[in-house]
Amino acid sequence: MLAAIARRVGRRLVSSVPALFGVVVITFVLMRVLPGDPAVFFASGPSAGQAEIEALRHKMGLDQPLPVQLLHYLGDIATGDLGRSLTTGQKVTQDIGRKLPASLELTFTALAIALSLSVPLGVLAALRPGSPVDHAVRMLCTLGVCVPTFVSGLLLIYAFYYLLGWAPDPTARIDIFASTPPEITGFYLVDFALARDWEGWSAAARQLLLPAFTMALFVLAPLARMTRASMLAVMGSDFIRAARSLGLPGYRIVVAYALRNALLPVLTITGIVFSTMLGANVLVEKVFSWPGVASYALDALLASDYAPVQAFVLLMAFIFVVVNVAIDVLYGIIDPRVSVE
């Protein structure tokens, strides 16, 4: 089993290399054709002369033909060098290594909240189609689709921070008066738990709740809709009618038979949702001043800082590939009829 999984993962990763190469080339070309010259932006002062700008463009290699720049960039990627950010002055790999755990922690927490709400709601709606519960779930899904994430984030801040005072100041990853945990994994909840600092863990969790709920509302609708539709299809199957005719308990039919067979489409949409969340959470990170990798890439894009944006797109493409490989493996675990091979 483990050998089959390893072969499957290896083949999928190798087959994804052309797609990643295409992402690198397209991103590289797009960054060069977009308006804005980083040499002009980073020249010292608005009164910088043309000679100084040209010198900076030569230093950055922007005066070379585009194919030559692309070959140099591909060579750097092959050696693990993603460039240096002109905004921070640090290597892009170092910047992303510091900021990626914040984005992953936010995304994982939001996805866990969304799944814990959407799956039960979808199951309830499917078990009582046309009932007030079903209409309420569909209305909630419609609101989740219609309301933009930055609007729901601002509404949550207004309600729970400004009016009720239940939430902490939404301006950072942890309260300014609290100390950060020892850097072990980069995930504050994990690092605080490893350090057995439960007061700090509680402070980090409180700071995480509002942005996580904002992102969870963004993905709640597709997950609940898919769960409802999949459960409705499964509940009308012959094996469910056979289980009922045998007199099996209702909860066992729903959980052991219906839900397990309905999880495959939900698992597919979960992988897609997770992949898009990492790239789409830039608005949430900006609203809550969350120091994640998406807001880092947006700041670099506004400054025409090529290297961080290119590294961010490559990272998102790689994560998308890894998530899809993980979904393939989980398919074989959840449903034995689906071969891992």
Q: Which residues of 268-286 are buried (b: 16+ CB within 10 A; e: fewer)?
A: bbbbebbbebbbbbbbbbb
Q: Which of 145, 152, 134 is nearest to 273 (CA)?
A: 145
Q: Is residue 69 part of a domain?
A: no
- List C-alpha distances in Å: 89 to 85, 86, 121, 287, 307: 5, 5, 48, 25, 11
Distance CA 48, CA 74 (A): 31
Q: Is residue 165 part of a domain?
A: yes
Instruction: Give the pLDDT of residue 113.
Output: 92
Phi, psi of 79 (to 5 degrees): -95, 5
Instruction: Give the pLDDT of residue 182.
Output: 86
Note down pLDDT in tens along the chain; length 341 residues: 566 667 777 777 777 788 888 888 888 888 777 776 666 666 655 556 677 767 767 776 667 777 888 888 888 788 888 888 877 878 888 888 888 899 899 999 999 999 998 888 888 888 888 888 888 888 887 777 777 777 888 888 888 888 888 888 887 788 777 788 888 888 889 989 998 888 889 888 988 999 999 888 888 888 888 888 888 888 878 888 888 888 778 778 887 778 878 888 888 888 888 877 877 788 888 888 888 888 888 888 887 788 888 888 888 888 888 887 777 777 766 665 655 45
Q: Is residue 294 part of a domain?
A: yes
Distance CA 214, CA 179 (A): 25
Structure pTM? 0.82
Instruction: Give the pLDDT of residue 136.
Output: 86
Helix spans in the chain (H): 2-15, 17-33, 38-42, 50-60, 66-78, 92-127, 132-146, 149-156, 188-194, 198-235, 238-245, 250-252, 260-280, 282-287, 293-302, 306-334
Residue 181 is classified by DSSP as P
Sequence-separated (6 or more) residues with CB below 8 Å from residue 219: 110, 111, 114, 118, 144, 273, 277
In the structure encoding, which two tokens stand for residue 129, read together?
A: 């189609």
Instruction: Give the pLDDT of residue 109.
Output: 92
Domain of residue 299, residue span: 92-334
Instruction: Give the pLDDT of residue 43.
Output: 62
Hunting for tokens 């493996």 — which residue is that? 329
Q: Is residue 5 part of a domain?
A: no
Q: Is residue 166 part of a domain?
A: yes
How many domains does the chain divide into?
1
In the structure encoding, which two tokens stand for residue 226, read together?
A: 């898919």
The DSSP result for 106-123, as a single string, is: HHHHHHHHHHHHHHHHHH
Distance CA 297, CA 279 (A): 10
Instruction: Give the pLDDT of residue 47.
Output: 57
Q: Is residue 60 part of a domain?
A: no
Distance CA 160, CA 162 (A): 6
CATH number at residue 313: 1.10.3720.10
User: Looking at the DSSP assignment, which residues form a beta bridge with residue 84?
Assistant: 91
Sign of the C-alpha dihedral computed for residues 18, 77, 324 and 208 taken in this order: negative
Q: Is residue 77 part of a domain?
A: no
Q: Is residue 250 part of a domain?
A: yes
